[in-house]
Structure 1
């Protein structure tokens, strides 16, 4: 197997055109077409459908595209491992973090710790939704991620780390969050809520809880930006629903009403996810262990903050 052909094939799919891919790769179009023909002969399958608008992968082409990404990533990892053999971990590590999660809250400490302990590791942090991140891990474009959910999902291994209750959090004035102690789901029906969109797991579990109780949440805004959410809650535009760890990390919880939702308790599961069919590289394993260390340190301090509330 000539890995150059696989690389060229990926570029053709990404560009959607043999001509554009040839320009990107700085090779003649006939030579690129010849590489593609050699791949199709090797696999005994048509890999692309050609039209005036460009090219599109067949089912066989899509399967090869996924495996080609994994193969080329493994080749890169092998080169990196050989180069740094006997030295401190070095190389590129990609980590995905779900928005409004403990993972996102630990992004800055993780960057700092990696720079201090492993200066030769280049850490790439991607904050995105679980579905997008899981696909990136399956295709080998990401090493690991800290997301909501506990699987199962084909091609992805879930390492369940914690289950967290959800809390109603808002300013004391005008959002219906005033009071002390727990708050029942029925008391939330008329509370103006600022929540992420329905693609986010927090929104999905909140909607499911309301639906099971034959109620509708009063959603006054869908906010994907943590900074915007902080400003909106502080301004009294609405309350939000978050796990304690995320709330503690992004909001000034000491100046807000923080009440656990009960009857029923609403929970989310947080997991560290990795590829099920390729092991972590040495630098990725170092980052994995460091991340778990930061999670444990966070847990050691969170109890004191809860008691303060």
Structure 2
């Protein structure tokens, strides 16, 4: 397959219109259509379906689109690595940091350290939900992400970093329970928690199920936004369950209280996520090494449990 045709195909799918893609690519539409027809002939598959609204990929087209993104990204990285040979590291590196986790505390130290050690590296930081970040890595659109999770997923690998204990967080207007608080004592407490697909909610649900069949937290509203959740606590509407890092932020922001949950202790696993089949570029590998150093320092400063064998060791 011709790389230029792959670039054309990806652009057409991204835009969803042959006419608009031709304008962006500075190529006549008949010539672009011919390039697409040639590509379809090479792969012996129909790749796009033309509709009144534009074009959409067929199932075969969706498969080629995913692979084309990876192929083009690797070619770009190969050129960048060759150009960087013999001089300081340079190039783009994208890192995802899941909000509401200990990863949030890594943003500034990571920026400072990368700028000091590798000024030629352009760092892109993306704070987003773990599901979104893992999909970006799976599709080859992001290099690394620090997020909650430790279960193997096809296309991704997870390096365990540390475990954050979960805390009950409540407003100053609510009586503070004896610390630590047993999970069984929270069965009748009204809680504001994230949606069931969120890793923290999953851990809480699993812990309640371990107390007895049919047991579940009493959730009165589901909130994903850290800002809104802090406002809820500040307004005295109720309590929530949060990892240690976010619990400290909420307590500091609105004068709330926090109590560690025991019997059982619930811990959220923070991991470094990357593709299990796409090799990291040299700049991305350097940023990964820095991330591991910073996580080791973070674990020592906040007192969370480190689970990686040696975060300072080269990976």
When normalised by structure 1's length, the TM-score is 0.89
Is the Cα contact below 8 Å between 1:98 and 1:104 reproduced in 2?
A: yes
Aligned to 1:115: 115
Secondary structure class of the residue paired with 1:94: strand
Structure 1 counterpart of 2:206, from 205, 208, 211:
208
1:226-241 equivalences under 5 Å are 226-241=226-241
Is the Cα contact below 8 Å between 1:103 and 1:147 reproduced in 2?
A: yes
Q: CA deviation at 1:108?
A: 2.4
Aligned to 2:16: 16
Is the Cα contact below 8 Å between 1:220 and 1:238 reproduced in 2?
A: no
Q: CA deviation at 1:95?
A: 0.8
| Separation of aligned partners in 2, 1:265 and 1:215 | 17
| Separation of aligned partners in 1, 2:113 and 2:239 | 33
* Structure 1 position 264 matched with structure 2 position 261: no
Aligned to 1:193: 191
Is the Cα contact below 8 Å between 1:105 and 1:250 reproduced in 2?
A: no
| Separation of aligned partners in 1, 2:253 and 2:185 | 21
* Structure 1 position 126 matched with structure 2 position 126: yes
Is the Cα contact below 8 Å between 2:159 and 2:272 reproduced in 1?
A: yes
Q: CA deviation at 1:29?
A: 0.9
Secondary structure class of the residue paired with 1:162: strand
| RMSD (Å), alpha carbons | 2.2
| Distance 1:294-1:235 versus aligned 2 partners, 3 A rule | farther
| Separation of aligned partners in 2, 1:230 and 1:118 | 37
* Structure 1 position 144 matched with structure 2 position 144: yes
1:44-78 Cα shifts (integer Å, max 9, x gaps) = 11111222332221222111101100011111111
Secondary structure class of the residue paired with 1:106: helix
Of residues 267-276 and 139-148 in structure 1, the stretch that sits farther from structure 2 once superposed is 267-276
Of residues 201-210 and 228-237 in structure 1, the stretch that sits farther from structure 2 once superposed is 228-237
Secondary structure class of the residue paired with 2:50: strand
- Which ranges of structure 1 fall in alignment gaps of 5 or more residues? 305-309
When normalised by structure 2's length, the TM-score is 0.87
Aligned to 2:161: 161
Aligned to 1:82: 82
Q: CA deviation at 1:249?
A: 5.1
Aligned length: 302
* Structure 1 position 104 matched with structure 2 position 104: yes
Of residues 154-163 and 199-208 in structure 1, the stretch that sits farther from structure 2 once superposed is 199-208
Is the Cα contact below 8 Å between 2:233 and 2:254 reproduced in 1?
A: no
Aligned to 1:282: 282
Aligned to 1:307: none
Is the Cα contact below 8 Å between 1:167 and 1:260 reproduced in 2?
A: yes
| Separation of aligned partners in 2, 1:24 and 1:204 | 44
1:216-231 equivalences under 5 Å are 216-231=216-231
- Which ranges of structure 2 fall in alignment gaps of 5 or more residues? 305-315
Q: CA deviation at 1:220?
A: 4.0
Q: CA deviation at 1:121?
A: 1.5
Aligned to 2:171: 171
| Separation of aligned partners in 2, 1:181 and 1:170 | 13
Secondary structure class of the residue paired with 2:303: helix
1:199-258 Cα shifts (integer Å, max 9, x gaps) = 321122223333454334333443333333334323433322122133335642995422
Secondary structure class of the residue paired with 2:80: helix
